[in-house]
Amino acid sequence: MSSTIKIDSTLNESSNKLKFNNKNRSSFFADVRHKVDHYFKSNKIEKKANGAMWTKAVIFLTGFVLLYALIISNLFNPLIMLLFAVLLGVFSAFIGFNICHDAIHGALSSNSRVNKIFSTVFHFVGANPYVWNITHNVVHHTYTNIAGHDEDLEIAPGLIRLSDDDKLTSMHRFQHFYAFPLYSLASLSWVFRKDYKKFFQSKVGECVSPKHPKIEYFNLFFFKFLYYFLFFGLPVLLTDITWWQGIIGFVALHFAQGLVMGLVFQLAHVVEGTEFPIPNGEGNMEDAWAEHQMRTTANFSMKSKLAAFLLGGLNQQVEHHLFPKICHIHYPAISHIVRETAHQYQLPYIENITFWDAMKSHYIILKKFSVA
């Protein structure tokens, strides 16, 4: 975990000096943080994973391993194996949401070794935890929804337009129709393209990439090829399916994983009410960092126990962006504190009541930017 600390420091020092307004800022973040800390202390609750969280981890990891074992058992016909592959893709997304996301943020356990172990699981859903730490923990969480800085806005460069500054093409007028199936490609892109690209590019957004430790070069290629072998090569070798059936299964797995991932991530920042602020004439942001998070982040399905169980707190991104080192299992409990404090400071608390409300809102945003 020591390399993670170096990453954060290097990136912050190497930014293009885009800063948030700390002059005469409100005491919103200090106030809400004090109230949240008081909640945990007064109730004698740890901020990290509790029994319910570890139970979830066991359920998702067991389901993942069981589905993989059923696929390579060669006991089922290709159609049943294809179904298992789709379910494996869904479980992969849930493992990323619930376990790896918290672990890489250091929110799963107070023990850094435990977080590192569970961060490594990210390799087995096709993603690189080191690269994710750079692009997500540091850049996205700092420069949320700022075009040119937050590369999470680059869903499909050239195909999806989410800013008035993006070039408008004739294809974009249909983006509110093709965007949703396009999200299914997100996981395939991650496995074969995104991690390599982000690792070797000189900048992430406007932050200069750090000098990567040598072990991370090894980890990138070793775990990628291990993943290709485990989830394509080994099933073809151990079962009666042909190579082309193996490709179909691999692609189906990632279509399912990509669709789940793509939808959940977009519903947190690209919906009605969220802002896409730009730097002022001096190249800085008008808001303090925490206020910026309140204006660029949205929740959905907060009352749904199923969403809370499956999505790893990603349906409560407001709480996550303010308190990324608190385990997501606690977000429902602290959400009323964040909401009430935001209202006291006349800050927005953006929320879509249901998943379908969030989907509709995202569709409206896509349609909005489909024309000039």
Is the entire prediction scored with pTM above 0.75?
Answer: yes
Confidence of residue 26 (pLDDT cuts 50, 70, 90): confident
Task: State the pLDDT at residue 15.
Answer: 44
Task: State the pLDDT at residue 25.
Answer: 62
Task: Show me where the domains of the chain are located.
Answer: 2-14+24-368
Q: Which amino acid is at 369?
A: F
The 8-class DSSP code of residue 235 comes to: H
Confidence of residue 8 (pLDDT cuts 50, 70, 90): very low
Asked if residue 243 has pLDDT above 70, the reply is yes
Own/partner long-range contacts of 177-183 (Cβ < 8 Å, ≥24 apart): 179/155, 179/366, 180/259, 180/263, 182/155, 182/156, 182/262, 183/155, 183/258, 183/259, 183/261, 183/262, 183/263, 183/266
- Name the phi and psi angles at 29, rounded to 5: -65, -40
Whether 99 contacts 122, CB under 8 Å: no
Give per-residue pLDDT as tens, 311-356.
999 999 999 999 999 999 999 999 999 999 999 999 999 999 999 9
The helix/strand/coil state of 347 is coil
Residues whose CB is less than 8 angstroms from the CB of residue 265 and which lie 6 or more positions away in sequence, other chains included: 152, 314
Give per-residue pLDDT as tens, 266-324.
999 999 999 989 888 777 888 899 999 999 999 999 999 999 999 999 999 999 999 99
The 8-class DSSP code of residue 209 comes to: P
Asked if residue 9 has pLDDT above 50, the reply is no
Task: State the pLDDT at residue 278.
Answer: 86
Cβ neighbours, 10 Å, residue 124 = 19
Asked if residue 10 has pLDDT above 50, the reply is no
Task: State the pLDDT at residue 113.
Answer: 97
Identify the bridge partners of residue 350 per DSSP, sorted by sequence position. 298
Give per-residue pLDDT as tens, 228-241.
999 999 999 999 99
Determine which of 12-16, 18-22, 144-148, 256-260 has the lowest per-residue pLDDT on average.
12-16
Distance CA 266, CA 143 (A): 16
Task: State the pLDDT at residue 280.
Answer: 84
Task: State the pLDDT at residue 239.
Answer: 96
Output the average pLDDT for the chain.
Answer: 91
Asked if residue 13 has pLDDT above 80, the reply is no
- Name the phi and psi angles at 351, rounded to 5: -150, 135
What percentage of residues in the chain have a pLDDT greater than 90?
76
Closest CA to 231 of 121, 88, 119, 63: 88
Whether 299 contacts 347, CB under 8 Å: no
DSSP string over 291-328 = HHHHHH-EEE-TT-HHHHHHSTTTTBHHHHHH-TTS-G
